[in-house]
Amino acid sequence: MTLEFQNGINVIDSLLHANSTTKDMLTTYQCDGLCQLRRILLVTISSSSSSSSEEKSEYDEEDGIISHIPKKLLIESRQQGQHNSDDPSSNNKDTNQYLLSEFGGMKKEPSSRWKLVKKAVSTNSIIQELRRECTSKNDNDEAILPHYSAAAPVEWYQLDYETQLKLYHNHLSWENLMRWEDFDIFEVSKLCQGKPLLFVGWAILASPHSQIIMEETVSSSSKKEYNEDDDDDNSSESYNRKGYNFLETYKIPPKCMIDFLRAIEDRYLPDTINPYHNNIHAADVLQTTHSFLEMGSQYQLFDGGASPPTSALTLQMFSLLVGAAIHDVGHPGYNNAFQSKTFSQIALTYNDKSILENYHTSLAFQMVLGENAINSEWNIFKNMIPGEFVECKRFITEAILDTDMTFHFARYNEIKTLSIPSRNNINTGNDNDDDVNSSKDSTNKEMAYSWKVLKFILHMADISNLAKRQSISNQWTDCVLEEFFRQGDQEREMGLLPISPLCDRNTTSRADSQMGFISFVIRPSFEALQRHLPYTTDVILPLIKNNYEFWESQKNTEEEKSNNKNKTKKNDAIKKDEEKAKKKKNGKFILTPMAA
């Protein structure tokens, strides 16, 4: 069955190929249907892949876990899996399965009976999905994509025309959102009245529709050119119209996406409480992650350079961008070390392991999936195919947990040595089993590679301040150090000594802190990314160099001021001693030598 599905995908790809004459003959609705059918086939293949793996083992062997399991236990469990349940040798099968699951972290494959149920459920899901795809075009459009005027935040229309013009032409147009070195998120925050995550998130995650709305609002010429029939563009055309097309792909009502972004932003503490970990930082990380992705697409880094991206890569990119938006939601302004030292509730909840990263992820999903929220107005995942949502949640969780700085050097070494997969194995569409299997293996390697790079990209976006233009970078330095100093003040007040590194406002050297961070974290990490993102060499590394030189000059200034201060103190002390000696000499307490 998997082979037939793969052949079907190959046929669809050939029909929708950019250079295909057949594509020009298809209506946009037919193209939409083929794209959706391709996505269903991919999910079905993914779901069935676990059953085909039972010939090798009845357990998942991901992440190298199997290397830590006693070989004897593995051999016994495999042998038992080959016997009938009535066989005496299978008496301790449940025990072995329990040991493998609870102590080895290995997931047991479902029983044969359960597999039949699973297949039935999977088949039913496919049928329901096909029914949903085959409903009338008008009904589908009304349910999923209402007219664009209803697909923009009300906050956008509350802005005056001049502000809309500045936001779009200087910041939120697709070309501006791609900028790395000089995208000014602080200016964006001011223009959108303190709602940068809502506006930046909408401009990126709801593209191309958000881009069309903004252009339509600020340009009379675009109003004449834009036609409502353009709503029906197929995924390839929409992608080329400056956007990700996530709303159609995952059937997200535009208002739902807007409500989600607004709800997430409301749960970030304001910059008056959190100078750094606030909604401005979240919007900045989202834009920076998007800029990274655009760099990758320019160099055809991911997915073998497919345009538009395949379903698997689209899901990874969607997960990464959503992860960027929620990665610090609810941040209390005090780091993991503080949480551990104070035995905070979240530290106790997550047992001192990636405390805040676990908290942010959990909080975001509780908002969407928690009790009484399953059908909430901000559940952007509700129309996903179940298998897609499971993968999406896993991607988001992994990406956010990888922003924990304690993993940095491990992830850096992984990226530094990560091999770029060969792209010579191109799927020719032949029915030969070997060709299909080779193509599938190549695709799996490509997606595994892209996800490792994408996770590292989010981590680097999170700490990219010193890789931006100096004026913007310096503002972020002020923000992060002020938040650190507030934690240090709190630690001093609570008697939590010694004060955490870089958190003592009386002793921390601003220049040393930034130079050290550049030398040991920022510069090596972006140098490691050069093989994967060539854009890094010409654009990002020079900015890092400039910032290092700036802080180096600042250090010299600090040292000069410190030396002058010490010299002044020394001179004052000498002067004071001289004045004291002079007073003693002229005073009545001066002792004279006794006469001989």
Task: Name residue 488's amino acid.
Answer: G
First to last CA, the chain: 123
Tens of pLDDT, residues 43-58: 665 555 444 444 444 4
Instruction: For residue 124, report the phi and psi dihedrals to the nearest 5 degrees.
Output: -60, -40
User: What is the chain's mean pLDDT, rounded?
Assistant: 79
Is the pLDDT assigned to residue 191 strictly greater than 70?
yes
Please check whether residue 521 is in contact with residue 407, taking contact to mean a CB–CB distance below 8 angstroms: no
Please check whether residue 283 is in contact with residue 185, taking contact to mean a CB–CB distance below 8 angstroms: yes
Beta bridge partners of 108: 59
Q: Angle at the Cα of 269 (from 510 to 170), degrees rounded to 5?
A: 75
Q: Angle at the Cα of 202 (from 196 to 205), degrees rounded to 5?
A: 125
Distance CA 213, CA 509 (A): 47
More confident residue, 428 or 150: 150
Cβ neighbour number for residue 477 with a 10 Å cutoff? 20
Is the pLDDT assigned to residue 114 strictly greater than 50?
no
Say which residue the tokens 């001693």 belong to: 577
Where along the chain do its domains lie? 141-401, 470-565
Distance CA 27, CA 47 (A): 31
Give the pLDDT confidence score for residue 34 in this predicted structure: 77
Q: In CATH, what class is 141-401?
A: mainly alpha
Distance CA 437, CA 457 (A): 30
Is 277 an active-site residue?
yes
Cβ neighbour number for residue 442 with a 10 Å cutoff? 18
Give the pLDDT confidence score for residue 510 in this predicted structure: 95
Distance CA 578, CA 581 (A): 5
Cβ neighbour number for residue 142 with a 10 Å cutoff? 11
> Which whole number is the average pLDDT over 215-223?
69
Distance CA 313, CA 245 (A): 13
Please check whether residue 384 is in contact with residue 392, taking contact to mean a CB–CB distance below 8 angstroms: yes
> Which whole number is the average pLDDT over 499-519?
95
445, exposed or middle or buried, with CB in 10 Å at 0-12, 13-18, 19+? middle
Tens of pLDDT, residues 266-323: 999 999 999 999 999 999 999 999 999 998 876 556 654 555 567 889 999 999 999 9
DSSP code of residue 231? G
- The catalytic residue among 171, 209, 277, 331 is 277
Instruction: Enumerate the H helices of 26-151 as residue ranges.
Output: 28-52, 71-81, 93-102, 112-134, 137-144
Is the pLDDT assigned to residue 421 strictly greater than 70?
yes
Tens of pLDDT, residues 428-451: 445 555 555 566 677 788 889 999
Please check whether residue 318 is in contact with residue 392, taking contact to mean a CB–CB distance below 8 angstroms: yes
Closest to 403 (Cα-Cα) out of 443, 351, 360:
360
Residue 339 — pLDDT band, cuts 50, 70, 90? Answer: very high
DSSP code of residue 108? B
Say which residue the tokens 């990226």 belong to: 415
- List of long-range contacts for 68-77, beta carbons under 8 Å, 24+ apart: 68/104, 69/100, 69/104, 69/106, 73/99, 73/100, 73/104, 74/100
Give the pLDDT confidence score for residue 311 in this predicted structure: 85
